Amino acid sequence: MKQAPENLLLHSFDSSVSVDQLPVQFTFPFDYTPHRLSLLAARGLQEHLSTQQDWDHHFGLSGENDRVSGKMFGVLVVRTPENSIGYLAAFSGKLAGSNHHAKFVPPVYDGLADDGFLNTGMTELSRMNEAIKVLKLQQSEQEREQIALLKDIRKKHSVRLQSKIFDHYHFLNRAGEEKGLRLIFDDASYKNPPAGAGECAAPKLLQYAFQHRLEPLAMAEFWWGLSPKSAHWKHGHFYPACQEKCAPILSHMLAGMNIEKPAR
């Protein structure tokens, strides 16, 4: 089959892909063995991560000790309307302090935009934190009352800000149906979406695919770098999508697709 064109952030495989190499069903994201094409895509992305010089992130693979932070990456094998085969790449959360890097799909919602409400809201939170810090240096009853009042205002402001962030996340599925983050988690009987919901690699990949009429064929996610917090994450190993943040979102995004059975 044809290789992917060079537009749309699609990456090409090193060799041509035949029809019999394509997966019959899409990857079950919570328990899978990576498809051969997903493995090829992951190797291509890993080679890019090992050689790129456009940005700097401390993965902990070169002996650096400060701010070591591994990262989850994802690849999505897709077919274009013109029957070309290629893959998309994404990272979870931010990478090197940014939501945007060459060769990676964009976020579903960019909270780091300069003119966005999030920057204004975070600036206000920082102002409150500084005011509380100054008041704590005083020891009078009046200062303690002011601190309690400011903490209450800060908490309410933070809740409103997080709620507004949630309202800016909307996800597509294959049928073109769009659904907001709040409704997705409400339908799944969650009280509220967890912080960071929608920022993982899998939703980013599927969102970009559906926005550009690309057919998802297979996907895989892998950890790159050392883990500063837990020995669970191993460099170069593949992992399922997370249940807490991704399960309700992917349930909507993958609706109507022919999905594999769990690997085990």
**Full strand arrangement of the beta sheet holding 2-3:** 2-3, 84-91, 71-79, 215-224, 238-239
pTM: 0.85
Same domain, 89 and 124: no
Cβ-contact 11, 223 below 8 angstroms: no
pLDDT tens figures, 129-147: 888 888 887 777 778 888 8
Residues 98 and 144 in one domain: no
Residue range 5-49, pLDDT digits in tens: 555 699 999 888 888 899 999 999 999 999 999 999 999 999 999
Which residue segment(s) compose the domain that 79 sits in? 2-35+58-107+169-253
Q: Is residue 228 part of a domain?
A: yes
Please give the pLDDT value at position 231. 63
Alpha helices (H) in the chain, listed in sequence order:
36-51, 117-136, 141-167, 181-187, 201-211, 243-253
Both 189 and 99 in one domain: the answer is: yes
Query: What are the Cα distances from residue 67, in Å, to 71, 115, 227?
Result: 12, 28, 11
Question: Could you read off the pLDDT of 191-237 as tens digits, one per residue?
Answer: 789 888 999 999 999 999 999 999 999 999 999 998 866 668 899 99
Look at residue 235 and tell me if it is in a domain: yes
Number of domains in the chain: 2
Residues 146 and 178 in one domain: no
The token duo for 232 is 């669970």
Query: pLDDT above 90 covers what percent of the chain?
Result: 56
Give me the pLDDT at residue 240, please: 96
